[in-house]
Structure 1
């Protein structure tokens, strides 16, 4: 059974409605997402409320603080510095995030073990987590792609340390088939602007080499692209060995995101909002969440640098188009009307 924050708690709904109205506010799209999301289970809504996050907050900063407290306790499981487990006991709340505790939110893609997923990781994140220089990481990555054994060992060790440091927070990933047109059999055959196009298709709004309103020069953002089969994901005690836990993303699975937009209840996955605008509803990129896992050097697929700035008007311009496509794909002509009629 699902719950909508539009009618779950009157005080919280009133707070969300007030902050969703002006598109020049700081959290208008986030508030709209909370009113729009149809994939919240009743249990998760109660858990969110019990953490003091679903109430009439004094301001969005207070809401953000409560939201982050919920994430820290229920979603970003600490892991105590250990490597993410390959088998997860759904009843162990110290290991299993709230995201994967209900089978009602799982995607059928979890049964397609041979399908590949794509994950993007900023090289800078290794510096923040492990104080490893970007230059060193890029050297190891280049060596691993060239099948250098020593570089592959170094990268494997780095990824192991990173997995331990990252906690057991759920991982956003996309479906390889939806992005394969950007890549050739070898890097030399890739689309010339694949890195920036990939960023746009995945809705990575914060991956901006020149933040809006600054006079700074473009500062390229190096990224690592990992590709791995669904079969490589951790197993969940509530599923048989022929399935892996892939969840449909909802507003309670991560930090506040202006580029996130929940998909209708009929959808088997989430969908990223293309920052440059998808050409049709058939070109939306599917998105899922899976449990934390240790990546391997063999999963590294490409290395690149984002150089194209994000259009500062992207969210305002593309959210309406994204919702129109979701309406078409899932035959929901009224979807988003109560939250985003001004953009449709």
Structure 2
């Protein structure tokens, strides 16, 4: 996607030619994008292009003004992702029985719930009758009530932003591994779940639900716009996001671990917000490790170049994108 706004064009040209690996990644994500219709690009650049030719100004305009007015919507407002202006990225034809997963950070909602992660996990096991209550006064019904109350509080706090998700079958092996929290984080490219200090573990929930749950209660037109392939305009500027060629069925997560044999590409989709319920909890855990060193600083160039090679190999689009040379 070639920018038309002169300020944004000048900035991206400078970042791509003179920036470090991280700065180049920001520019490449915009330049490589193939799923933005002309009217969406024009609206974005007319209203949200940076006022100055520096990365900080672009982040302030995009992550602040744009995302909070067009993507991270409050109440029942529809994000731009699922409106007609994003028609070039709409995704249809998913099987209703297909299951998707999300890895959610519970840090904020746990603090306001009065529960610990261990207590939440115990209630889930009691409700599923996999574990005998440690307190004989806790029944299966009690455990379900605790989980329902937790979900209600959480749903009330969440906004209406698009939900990134992956297909369960593609990462089942990682989900079942003992170190599943870090493995799933890395496969899905969730670099913001980064543990920088040993005492700052990140409590997470792995959510699992079928496509039918996302479609439930939607009108016909809403169902046709319930899913989309992720684009550079569907969230904050993120160096661990990577656009896909328009010919690819889905997005592809940027694995935080190397993938020299192109065996770890994971499909990525966006879907409309749903309210969570107890039966969406698959498991709870804590991320206790930092993101891999391959995903930081100068090393990011090799990681992204390898991912680009795999995208080209998978799609046959040899002319897609450009390597980072630093």
TM value normalised by structure 1:
0.81
Cα distance in 1 for residues equivalent to 2:3 and 2:160: 31
Give yes or no for contact 2:11–2:55 (8 Å, CA) kept in 1: no
- The aligned residue for residue 28 of structure 1 is 24
Equivalent of 1:166, from 155, 158, 168?
158
- The aligned residue for residue 60 of structure 2 is 65
- Give per-residue Cα distances to partners, 1:175-227, cap 9 Å, x unaligned: 111111234xxxxxx322222111110111121212xxxxx436322210000
Equivalent of 2:231, from 250, 260, 271?
250
- The aligned residue for residue 137 of structure 2 is none
1:101 aligns with 2:83: yes
Q: CA RMSD in A?
A: 2.4
Query: 2:289 aligns to what SS in structure 1?
Result: coil
Shift of 1:66: 1.3
- The aligned residue for residue 131 of structure 2 is none
Equivalent of 1:131, from 89, 112, 116?
112
Q: How does 1:247-326 map to 2 (within 5 A)?
A: 247-278=228-259, 280-314=261-295, 315-326=300-311
- The aligned residue for residue 133 of structure 2 is none
Cα distance in 2 for residues equivalent to 1:114 and 1:44: 32
Shift of 1:292: 1.2
Cα distance in 2 for residues equivalent to 1:341 and 1:182: 29
Cα distance in 2 for residues equivalent to 1:221 and 1:9: 40
- 5+ residue gaps, structure 2, are 128-139
- Give per-residue Cα distances to partners, 1:101-144, cap 9 Å, x unaligned: 13431223x531110000111121315xx7335x5354123312
Equivalent of 1:225, from 201, 206, 211?
206
Query: 2:325 aligns to what SS in structure 1?
Result: helix
- Give per-residue Cα distances to partners, 1:56-93, cap 9 Å, x unaligned: 624222211211211111111111xxxx6xxxxxxxxx
Query: 2:28 aligns to what SS in structure 1?
Result: helix
Query: 2:148 aligns to what SS in structure 1?
Result: helix
Give yes or no for contact 1:99–1:170 (8 Å, CA) kept in 2: yes
- 5+ residue gaps, structure 1, are 85-94, 184-189, 211-215
Query: 1:287 aligns to what SS in structure 2?
Result: strand
Give yes or no for contact 2:21–2:301 (8 Å, CA) kept in 1: no
Equivalent of 1:149, from 122, 129, 141?
141
Cα distance in 2 for residues equivalent to 1:159 and 1:284: 31
Shift in alpha-carbon separation, 1:21–1:273, aligned structure 2, 3 A: same
Give yes or no for contact 1:172–1:290 (8 Å, CA) kept in 2: yes
- The aligned residue for residue 121 of structure 1 is 104
- Give per-residue Cα distances to partners, 1:294-316, cap 9 Å, x unaligned: 01111100112222221234233
- Give per-residue Cα distances to partners, 1:228-287, cap 9 Å, x unaligned: 00110146545486x671110011111121210111111121111111123533531111
Cα distance in 1 for residues equivalent to 2:237 and 2:17: 17
